[in-house]
Amino acid sequence: GGGGTAGTLTLLLGEGSKRLPQAIIIGVKKGGTRALLEFLRVHPDVRAVGAEPHFFDRNYERGLAWYRDLMPRTLEGQITMEKTPSYFVTKEAPARISSMSKGTKLIVVVRDPVTRAISDYTQTLSKKPDIPTFESLTFKNRTTGLIDTSWSAIQIGIYAKHLENWLLYFPIGQILFVSGERLISDPAGELGRVQDFLGLKRIITDKHFYFNKTKGFPCLKKAEGSSKPHCLGKTKGRTHPDIDQEVVQRLRDFYRPFNMKFYQMTGQDFGWD
């Protein structure tokens, strides 16, 4: 650490130390977590792991020393971060993160559960083109219109249910909910909220973004540690297949009460209905 010349010197010597993350993006899958992480990494005081460590869900038995070793080195005053969107729906994750540090700041990027489910399906389809249709996976029984809540694409979007589990271990004020929609329509505004929440100076502003018409995404004028403009990779912003509108409507009706409960719990209206 150290300020002034000493700080510059430790930077040049590649020193600093690996610390456990003080903030984690815990969810949700297909919500916009990669975009948020890439946008945040523009901040000089944010250091983040690129790959998803999956420590608190899949690799917990490897231990905290293994986890810490994955982290980038940081200087005094910098924040260490990671993102693993499956944590939000992992039963054991809240207790595990809390036992690492009760003070861990948590960020959840949420998105309209219906478009999130279709996006999730689209990602799976790109890897396994022979899977059944979205419509057939949605229902336990198409005739009765009973929705299959055990299908993960649908399960993940019941945010209120998953959040209850986190609130057993963390106060609501320690969790920031980022709107996946606003992350696209107003990236600088959402990033402002995130920087405030993390106690960072508001360095990332609209000057950092331009809107890419082709991708339909905001992109960075300069990526972290680069002078080139940077959009998210080819796997981001895939075109969704056309889904039967009746099925979409049926899903909207299904999610509505859960969405309302989620708005109440978070004190935020995400405008999904």
Instruction: Write out the catalytic residue numbers.
Output: 30
Residue that the structure tokens 């229902």 belong to:
139
Note whether 215 and 231 are within 8 A (CB): yes
Strands 146-147 and 139-141: antiparallel
Annotated binding site: 30-34, 111, 119, 236-240
For the record, the structure tokens of 77 come out as: 């005053």
Distance CA 26, CA 71 (A): 16
Annotated binding site for 3'-phosphoadenylyl sulfate: 30-34, 111, 119, 236-240
Nearest to 43 by CA among 171, 204, 272, 247: 204
Residue that the structure tokens 């009706």 belong to:
253
Nearest to 108 by CA among 50, 181, 32, 54: 32
Q: Which long-range contacts (CB under 8 A, 24 or more apart) does 193-202 make?
A: 194/36, 194/40, 194/107, 195/43, 197/105, 197/107, 198/23, 198/46, 198/79, 198/105, 200/43, 200/45, 200/46, 200/79, 201/45
